[in-house]
């Protein structure tokens, strides 16, 4: 049987770290896309934008109600 322990699995520090990692990844993707676009590599810029968007869009949230 599943225990009913309500202890948070993460800490406030890990939540902040996750937010900063998401921000820095987005910023790096944007810089890469702009750099490629200004250099004339539009196909590569689109590919990086799609990959970065897909990586940033994945988020899993679980709400357990009893």
Encode pLDDT of 3-57 as tens digits. Answer: 665 566 666 677 788 778 888 888 888 899 999 999 999 899 999 888 877 776 6
Vertex 56 angle, CA 55 and 60, to 5° = 95
């Amino acid at each position: 049987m599943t225990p009913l322990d309500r202890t948070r699995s993460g800490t406030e520090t890990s939540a902040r770290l996750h937010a900063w990692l998401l921000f820095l990844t987005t910023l790096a993707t944007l810089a890469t896309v702009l750099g490629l676009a200004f250099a004339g590599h539009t196909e590569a810029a689109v590919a990086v934008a799609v990959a970065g968007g897909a990586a940033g869009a994945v988020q899993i949230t679980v709400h357990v109600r009893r």
